Chains A and B, each alone.
Chain A
Amino acid sequence: MIEVKDDWCKGCNICIDRCPVDALEESDNLNRRGVRPPKLKEENECNYCRLCELICPDLAITVIPEEDDKKPVKKTLLTPVGGKLK
């Protein structure tokens, strides 16, 4: 599960862009700043890698892993490699 503090989000969409399994999308409601904060897709492959939590510049995202829910782990691009894409 992913919790987003809506009013902290500035809408940079880095989490959506960087997610290794494309599990995030923009939500429908606007927050106080007038941007659409991210949310999990209805059908997603989120494996709780916590990249979005660590990379959020406004510390708005919290990832809460679900213990009984085991999904195949897809490794994110964790090392800088000089332009080779994921």
Chain B
Amino acid sequence: MVEIKTADELNKKFLREGMWPTIFCNGCGHGVVLEYTFWALEELGLDMDKVIFASGIGCSSRLPGYINADGLHTTHGRAIAFATGIKAANPDFHVIIFTGDGDCAGIGGNHFIHAARRNIDMTVIMINNFIYGMTGGQLAPTAPLGSIATTAPYGNIEHPFDISNLACALGANYVARWGVSHPYQPIKSIKEGLEKRGFSLLEFLAPCPTAYGRRNKLGDIKKHWAWYDDNTILIEDYEKIMKYGTEEEKAQVKDKIQLGVFQDIQKPGFFESYEKLVDRLREKETKAKEGKK
């Protein structure tokens, strides 16, 4: 296999060029996540016939349409349920799910919770832009306190949903959160998530200048991307400051969003345990038959 070094060759291999350019707005972060996924897949050298993409409804869920591989565009919030079906039918496939914050945390919340709890072998790439972008800017459950949306014109008073923390609590095997403006850590994280057996969640903070930035007066594209740099902090730095920092430093980083790998464990996945269960019962049955003879 020829090793790919430039973006041009990468695009020829992975992109369905007839669908390009994307429908995404100017300054949207979704295309960057797509590119990071391409690089991760290329570095792992996976057979693209063995990779299946699934998605629900929303901006992020347009992404499988741009990839030259099998994809499933399903109903709102139910991408994880469909992906469980794919995995049950043939456990050899790598299943990657592109989903948004409204799709995964809002409408498909229960599917997400139970897939993580059962530890089904899949990689969920959740692109979090704090808002329902495609449907007109309704308030998403992940939106920070005080943010403006069409359904919250005087500011959000509901506490935001920290989906990475939830996944950690449910015992997902791999949980990481990254922004889109620093390339190398996310690519490495996607690789690790794909290699991991069991449930892995990768949350990306993607800017949405049209629906979120414009209403919240975050400025133009440049300022909006800079907002994500100013309001995020690495989890290692955060913990260090919270442990040893002065009161002033603690007050500075208290409200920032933490980035990094939150959980990296190895528990047996659902289908692994299921195979073992089937083997055990078969053995028991044959023993019982032998006993009758």
Interface residues of A (CB under 8 A from B): 3, 7-8, 10-14, 17-18, 51, 53-59, 61-64, 77-83
Cβ-based interface call for B3 (8 A): no
CB distance from B213 to the nearest CB of A (A): 12
A63 to B5, CA, bound (A): 9
Closest CB of chain A to B288's CB: distance in Å? 59
List chain B positions with a Cβ less than 8 A from chain A: 6-8, 10-11, 15, 20-22, 24, 26-32, 34-36, 39, 178-185, 221-222, 225, 229-234, 237, 253, 256, 259
Residue contacts A-B, CB under 8 angstroms, 8 given:
A14-B222, A54-B32, A55-B32, A80-B178, A80-B259, A81-B229, A82-B229, A82-B256
User: Closest approach, in angstroms, between the C-beta of B9 and any C-beta of chain A?
Assistant: 9
A59 to B10, CA, bound (A): 10
Residues of B within 8 Å of A56, CB to CB, are: 7, 31-32, 35
Q: Is the interface of A mostly helix, strand, loop or mixed?
A: loop
Across the two chains, which residue of chain A brings its CB closest to B178? A80
Tell me whether B32 and A79 are in contact (CB under 8 A).
no
CB pair A64–B182 under 8 Å, yes or no, is no
Partner of A59, one of B7, B178, B237: B7
Contact (Cβ within 8 A) A58 B21: yes
What's the count of A-B pairs with C-beta under 8 Å? 95
> Does A58 lie within 8 Å of B233, measured CB to CB?
no
Does the CB pair A64–B6 fall under 8 Å?
A: yes
Known contacts A53-B7, A55-B181, A57-B28: A82-B237 contact under CB 8 Å: yes
A59 to B33, CA, bound (A): 11
Bound Cα distance A59, B34 (Å):
9
> With A3-B8, A80-B229 known to touch, is A57 a contact of B30 (CB < 8 Å)?
yes
Among B7, B30, B179, B221, the residue within 8 A (CB) of A80 is B179
